[in-house]
Amino acid sequence: METMLTVEGLGKSFKDKQIISNISFEVKQGEIMALLGPNGAGKSTTIRNIMGIMYPDEGAITFRNSTNNEIPRNKIGYLPEERGLYKNVKVMDILLYLAELKDYPLNRAKERALEYLKKFGLEGKDNVSVEELSKGMGQKVQFIASILHEPELLILDEPFSGLDPVSQELFKDEIRSLARNGTAILLSSHQMNLVEEMADRLFLIHRGTKVISGSLSEVKKEYANFKCTIHGSNSHEVLESLPEVERVEHSDEAAVLFLSKRVQPANWLRNLPEQLDVQELSIDRISLHEIFIDIATDKNLLKEAGEVHA
Amino acid sequence: MRCMHNTKKVAKWEIKRNMKSKSFIIGLFLTPIIFLAFLLLPELFSSDDEPATTTVYINDQLGVYEQLEAAAANTEWNMEPTNSTQQEAEVALEENTDAAYIFIGEQSVESGTVPVYTSEETSDAFMDEVQLLGGPLQMVQIEQLGLTTQEAGMVAQGIVFEDVSNEPEQSGLFSETMLERVVPGAFAAVVMLSIVFTGMAIFQSASQEKKDKIAEIILSSLTPAELMQGKIIGYFVLGLIQVVVYVLIALPVLIWRIDVPIIEYLFVPELLVLLLIAILGYLLYAAIFVGIGATMADISTAGNFQGMVMMLPFSPFLFIGPVFSDPSGIWAQIGSYIPFTAPGVLIMRLSLLEEWPWVEIVIATAILAISVWVFMKLAGKIFKIGILMYGKNATPGEIWKWVRT
């Protein structure tokens, strides 16, 4: 798999405030790379630096097939976070204009536009003025505009925001199929559950710096420790004294025990003391969603995991 | 080369988008029609007045009716002799619509005043017109003094103050030679006004980019400079389309209504200089509009600063008075050297002046051209940052900061 985009040591500050620093990752052909983080983490800033809409203070951005550091704009599809369309123009006109800006052959663009409009349930809307579209329809047209010219690299900033679940699935399917056909995809999101299902690799940033990165399975193995949820009346001390328990969170009847990384679930369960009050018990891995929340709310779960790991 | 390529695409899009918009098309045809309406309506109204001729009844005790009739040959009056008394006249005037009674007797010649009775309908201008009749009566006065006919003629001639400083035929704005210069100037003014007015749509277009949040999508395909240039060129072409429509609609009417060889006067070498000034003016204002447009999402939220800048293209109007009263005066010169007022002031001056001040023209045009270059640079800087600042208007402080970087 060829690397389409390399970001190395990217840093940017506004006034004296460092927005992002030392961001490094790459996006390969045919893979979905997810840039994750809470609002204000620096995802959009990173993407805008890649797109040449902002200029980084430090670091380097390299595209495949690009000579003398120029952004190969015609090979890139971009869906910004803040997006819209001209209001008083026809859907087909704006799609063709955006394709023309990419130097994409117009008859081919028209063909593909009709195809995609049909695929996204917008058949017959090509001659409709943009202002008559609903917000969701507008989002779809924007998405079509970003992929119409068959980009080699597709950059989607929060592609799922403001979409209903049906449209989300539609977008997900399309993004996956584009990746299967060899498009390199960089997408940012704060919706971990959506990304978890589709990303090959992820890069999680918080306050402008990297927190976690790697392939999805690596990240899960490394950070998504087991947790055990027990319903029953047990004292905090008892639970905390159990082996391999790093942290206990009590809520009403239930307690969540965060287990250490090296725990072997079967073994650990067998060794639970008999006097423990167990009405219900479940054991599973911490989800990316929980990791995400944890980071965003500055709890120390990950830090502990990290320390243990170190 | 590649830059021009993208600029052209943006320009083409802006032209196409406007040509497809109803409001633009309506405006395109409406402005020349309104212009013509303003030009021709007064004429239509004045011709309405024609049938309302004043009937002038003359009670002539001196036997000068024929001379009076001759003196009033150029008026629209309907003159009739009458024997009515003053009381009868007053009664008659109560009913009669547009009439006047004039009583001429020995007493008029002695006292030098003639009583005139008019009805309510009689136009105010009548009392000025009626002074014409003074001539024949003066002759009677002079005759009674016992002068010879030659002496009488000299006295009756009176004394006239005559302006001999210029060629005699050159009086008023619309004399023949004057028109020779006014026609190209007026055409250049129409060109500039059309493209400036169309150019104001640039402002709309730039702020629309922000309002519709499409700027970032567009800028993923081209650079801000290309987008800005594309808009400026696109609206320039739209302005020219407006000029063409103007010419097609207004010129035939003007040729028909005004008895002047307009075409002959229009295509003179001077026109090129005037058009150059008009185009430089457009570019200057376009740079201002596109830059300011990029700093705000909506004209209704424009701050004082933006509002003031928007008014700059109208600053030449401040100079209309001084320039028309003295086209070579100090105010006219100052106006020529201030880049914002230069296009309008120069076009006004060159339309009025017979002898063109070439040195001034060259200096003023150079200042204008340099300003265009500087303002394009500044607009580029403002546009680049402003266009991506969604949801809020830039403050003058922020704009200043962008300009300095």
Q: Provide the shortest C-alpha distance from residue A142 to chain B (in Å).
A: 9
Residue type, B356: W
Domains of chain B from N-terminus onward:
53-157 (3.40.190.10), 174-404 (no CATH)
- For residues B70 and B148, the answer to whether their CB atoms sit within 8 Å is no
The pLDDT, as a whole number, for residue A91 is 94
Candidates A49, A54, A79, A101: best to mutate against B (most CBs of B within 10 A) is: A101
The mean pLDDT value for B55-70 works out to 80
Which range of A132-136, A306-310, B312-316 scores highest in mean pLDDT? It is A132-136
CATH number of A222-309: 3.30.70
What are the CA-CA distances from residue A54 to residues A58, A200, B123 (Å)? 12, 27, 73
Q: Do domains A3-221 and A222-309 have the same CATH topology?
A: no
The pLDDT, as a whole number, for residue B248 is 87
Query: Which has more pLDDT, B297 or B248?
Result: B248
The pLDDT, as a whole number, for residue A116 is 94
Which range of A166-175, B66-75, B91-100, B355-364 scores highest in mean pLDDT? It is A166-175
The mean pLDDT value for B75-79 works out to 77
Between CA B284 and CA B278 the distance in angstroms is 10
Q: Angle at which helices B176-211 and B224-257 pack, to 10 degrees? A: 150
Confidence category of residue A147, pLDDT binned at 50, 70, 90: very high
Characterise B337 by phi-psi region: left (phi > 0), alpha (psi -120 to 50), beta (else).
Answer: alpha
Report chain B's terminal Cα–Cα distance, integer Å: 27
Candidates B220, B231, B390: best to mutate against A (most CBs of A within 10 A) is: B220
pTM: 0.72
- A160: helix, strand or coil: coil
Does the pLDDT at position A307 exceed 60? no
Domain positions in chain A: 3-221, 222-309
Least confident segment among A106-115, B49-58, B83-92, B125-134: B49-58
Does the pLDDT at position A156 exceed 70? yes
Residue type, A212: I
Chain B CB contacts of A92 under 8 Å are: none
The pLDDT, as a whole number, for residue A182 is 92
DSSP string, A66-81: -STT---GGGEEEE-S
- Look over chain A and give the mean of its residue pLDDT values, rounded to a whole number: 86
Q: What are phi and psi of A229, to 5 degrees?
A: -105, 125
Tallying the residues shown for chain A, one arrives at 310
What are the CA-CA distances from residue A75 to residues A4, A6, B6, B101, B220 (Å)? 10, 15, 15, 92, 10
Question: What residues have CB less than 8 Å from A57, skipping those under 6 apart?
Answer: A11, A12, A13
What does the DSSP 8-state code read for residue A227?
E
The pLDDT, as a whole number, for residue B49 is 46
Confidence category of residue A302, pLDDT binned at 50, 70, 90: low
Does the pLDDT at position B396 exceed 80? no
Question: What residues have CB less than 8 Å from B29, skipping those under 6 apart?
Answer: B245, B249
Between CA B276 and CA B270 the distance in angstroms is 10
Q: Angle at which helices A135-147 and A165-180 pack, to 10 degrees? A: 10
Give me the residue from A80, A82, A101 closest to B221, CB to CB: A101
- For residues B81 and B153, the answer to whether their CB atoms sit within 8 Å is no
A66 is written with which tokens? 């690009």
Query: Closest by alpha carbon to B86, among B52, B123, B50, B61?
Result: B61
The pLDDT, as a whole number, for residue B168 is 43
Confidence category of residue B60, pLDDT binned at 50, 70, 90: confident
- Look over chain B and give the mean of its residue pLDDT values, rounded to a whole number: 79
Q: How many CB atoms lie within 10 A of CB A14?
A: 10
Cβ contact A89–B17 (<8 Å): yes
The pLDDT, as a whole number, for residue B198 is 76
The CATH number of domain A3-221 is 3.40.50.300:
yes
Cβ contact A84–B220 (<8 Å): no
A157 is written with which tokens? 């900033």
Candidates B21, B221, B298, B387: best to mutate against A (most CBs of A within 10 A) is: B221
Query: Closest by alpha carbon to B385, among B358, B364, B403?
Result: B403
Cβ contact B214–A88 (<8 Å): no
B399 is written with which tokens? 């704009």
Q: Angle at which helices A216-223 and A301-309 pack, to 10 degrees? A: 90
- For residues A75 and A147, the answer to whether their CB atoms sit within 8 Å is no
The pLDDT, as a whole number, for residue A162 is 82
The mean pLDDT value for B231-235 works out to 90
What does the DSSP 8-state code read for residue A129?
B
- B122: helix, strand or coil: coil
Question: What residues have CB less than 8 Å from A180, skipping those under 6 apart?
Answer: A30
Query: Which has more pLDDT, B17 or B152?
Result: B17
Q: How many CB atoms lie within 10 A of CB B139?
A: 18
Rg (CA), chain B: 31
The mean pLDDT value for B46-66 works out to 70
Cβ contact A84–B212 (<8 Å): yes
The pLDDT, as a whole number, for residue B44 is 61
Q: How many CB atoms lie within 10 A of CB B308?
A: 12
- For residues A43 and A157, the answer to whether their CB atoms sit within 8 Å is yes
A6 is written with which tokens? 């390399």
The pLDDT, as a whole number, for residue B158 is 64
HEC sequence for A236-258: HHHHHHCCCEEEEEEECCEEEEE
pLDDT tens-digit series, residues B167-191: 444 445 555 566 777 777 888 888 8
The pLDDT, as a whole number, for residue B81 is 83
Candidates A51, A86, A98: best to mutate against B (most CBs of B within 10 A) is: A86
Between CA A175 and CA A177 the distance in angstroms is 5
**How many CA atoms are closer than 13 Å to the CA of B132, on its beta-carbon side?**
15
The pLDDT, as a whole number, for residue B174 is 52
The pLDDT, as a whole number, for residue B369 is 93
Cβ contact B218–A142 (<8 Å): no
pLDDT tens-digit series, residues B338-349: 888 888 888 888
pLDDT tens-digit series, residues A236-254: 888 888 888 888 888 877 8
**How many CA atoms are closer than 13 Å to the CA of A285, on its beta-carbon side?**
15
Q: What percent of chain B has pLDDT over 70?
A: 85
Residue entry with tokens 């001077």: B270
The mean pLDDT value for B128-144 works out to 76
- For residues A187 and A27, the answer to whether their CB atoms sit within 8 Å is no
Burial class (CB in 10 A: 0-12, 13-18, 19+), B146: exposed
The pLDDT, as a whole number, for residue B199 is 73
Tallying the residues shown for chain B, one arrives at 405
Cβ contact B221–A85 (<8 Å): no
Between CA B150 and CA A273 the distance in angstroms is 148
Chain B CB contacts of A79 under 8 Å are: 217
- For residues B206 and B293, the answer to whether their CB atoms sit within 8 Å is yes
pLDDT tens-digit series, residues A104-146: 999 999 999 999 999 999 998 889 999 899 988 999 999 999 9
The pLDDT, as a whole number, for residue A174 is 93
Between CA A42 and CA A205 the distance in angstroms is 7
Contacts of B43-48 with CB under 8 Å at 24 or more apart are B43/B257
What does the DSSP 8-state code read for residue A205?
E
Cα B184-B185-B189 angle, rounded to 5 deg: 115
The pLDDT, as a whole number, for residue A96 is 94
Which range of A169-178, A211-220, A282-291 scores highest in mean pLDDT? It is A169-178
Query: Closest by alpha carbon to B273, among B190, B195, B358?
Result: B358
Q: What are phi and psi of A207, to 5 degrees?
A: 50, 40
Q: Provide the shortest C-alpha distance from residue B16 to chain A (in Å).
A: 10
Does the pLDDT at position B51 exceed 60? no
Confidence category of residue B21, pLDDT binned at 50, 70, 90: confident
pLDDT tens-digit series, residues A2-32: 889 999 999 988 877 888 989 999 999 999 9
User: B46-83 burial, b for 16+ CB within 10 Å, e for fewer?
Assistant: eeeeeeeebbbbbbbeeebbebbbebbeebebebeebe
Q: Provide the shortest C-alpha distance from residue A213 to chain B (in Å).
A: 27
pLDDT tens-digit series, residues A46-78: 998 898 888 888 888 888 877 667 788 889 999
Query: Which has more pLDDT, B175 or B63?
Result: B63
Contacts of A235-240 with CB under 8 Å at 24 or more apart are A238/A273, A238/A276
- For residues B185 and B350, the answer to whether their CB atoms sit within 8 Å is yes
Q: Angle at which helices B176-211 and B270-293 pack, to 10 degrees? A: 20
Confidence category of residue A308, pLDDT binned at 50, 70, 90: very low
A189 is written with which tokens? 């999101």
Q: What percent of chain A has pLDDT over 90?
A: 36
pLDDT tens-digit series, residues A289-299: 887 777 777 76
The pLDDT, as a whole number, for residue B162 is 59
Confidence category of residue B304, pLDDT binned at 50, 70, 90: confident
Least confident segment among B9-23, B42-56, B161-175: B161-175
Give me the residue from A51, A87, A88 closest to B220, CB to CB: A51
Residue entry with tokens 């328990």: A245
Confidence category of residue B82, pLDDT binned at 50, 70, 90: confident
Cα A279-A282-A285 angle, rounded to 5 deg: 160
A277 is written with which tokens? 């009050």
ipTM, 2 dp: 0.81
What does the DSSP 8-state code read for residue B213?
T
The pLDDT, as a whole number, for residue B391 is 59
- For residues A76 and A155, the answer to whether their CB atoms sit within 8 Å is yes
Cα A172-A20-A309 angle, rounded to 5 deg: 80
The pLDDT, as a whole number, for residue A262 is 84
Does the pLDDT at position A301 exceed 60? no
Q: Provide the shortest C-alpha distance from residue A77 to chain B (in Å).
A: 8
**How many CA atoms are closer than 13 Å to the CA of B192, on its beta-carbon side?**
31
